[in-house]
């Protein structure tokens, strides 16, 4: 029941109260606050259990930032995808500056152990100096429309967050946004989990396997 609730929350545009009602229709009486705690507790555990099965990240990255509302203020979410459509990493910052961009790249490189040979960004002035320092050998692309892929990918995150009417805490926002990226990667087949299952069954089977691990 817990894994089902967490999967539904990360996958679909549902609120915690929506999930409370859906579970009640199936004979499971649980408060929406409990579901909230399940999501925060088990999302990182499921993602960590899946980490050994994750495909290697590509070496051509598209990086961009979008904005979300956290605790009543607007924050920036740095996101990157590779040439295969895999979400590489996400990072939340209250500022859109060189410090935030540097922290995002350092974290993504450290987590994936991949040094990109090509990085595509928009024409924000903070990127050239950061990339020249961290990735001097990488080709930095800023062509018009070159970053459309990651900009379009932001739409999936925005669609998931819309029913939530803003996130309440920085830590919780990080868990939910990272969990959404995890779900997207699972659905797109970037893990060696449920690879033989049809797309509409992949998440169900993968989460069942991960539940056994944790």
Q: Is the pLDDT of residue 39 over 90?
A: yes
HSE-up of residue 57 (Cα within 13 Å, Cβ side): 23
Answer for the pair 115, 59: CB distance below 8 angstroms, yes or no: yes
**So what's the pLDDT on residue 158?**
82
Using a 10 angstrom Cβ sphere, with 0-12 exposed, 13-18 middle and 19 or more buried, the burial of residue 201 is: exposed
Q: What is the mean pLDDT of residues 21-35?
A: 95
| pLDDT digit string, tens, across residues 81-103 | 999 999 999 999 999 999 999 99
Phi and psi at residue 178, in whole multiples of 5°? -65, -35
pTM (two decimals): 0.90
Q: What is the mean pLDDT of residues 132-155?
A: 90
Q: Is the pLDDT of residue 124 over 80?
A: yes
d(CA 24, CA 69): 30
In this structure, of 151-155, 163-167, 171-175, the range with the lowest mean pLDDT score is 163-167
């Amino acid at each position: 029941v817990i894994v089902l609730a967490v999967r539904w929350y990360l996958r679909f545009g549902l609120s915690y109260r929506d999930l409370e009602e859906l579970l009640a229709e199936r004979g499971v009486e649980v408060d929406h606050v409990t579901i909230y705690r399940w999501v925060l507790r088990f999302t990182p555990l499921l993602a960590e259990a899946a980490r050994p099965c994750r495909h290697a990240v590509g070496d051509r990255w598209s990086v961009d930032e979008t904005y979300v509302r956290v605790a009543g203020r607007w924050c920036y979410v740095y996101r990157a995808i590779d040439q295969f459509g895999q979400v590489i990493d996400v990072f939340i910052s209250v500022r859109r500056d060189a410090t935030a961009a540097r922290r995002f790249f350092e974290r993504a490189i450290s987590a994936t152990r991949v040094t990109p040979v090509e990085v595509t960004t928009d024409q924000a002035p903070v990127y050239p100096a950061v990339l020249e320092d961290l990735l001097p050998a990488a080709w930095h692309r800023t062509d018009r429309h070159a970053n459309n892929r990651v900009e379009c990918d932001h739409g999936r995150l925005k669609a998931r967050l819309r029913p939530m009417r803003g996130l309440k805490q920085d830590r919780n926002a990080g868990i939910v946004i990272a969990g959404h990226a995890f779900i997207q990667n699972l659905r797109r087949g970037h893990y060696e989990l449920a690879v033989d299952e049809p797309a509409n069954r992949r998440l169900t089977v993968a989460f069942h396997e991960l539940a056994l691990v944790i």
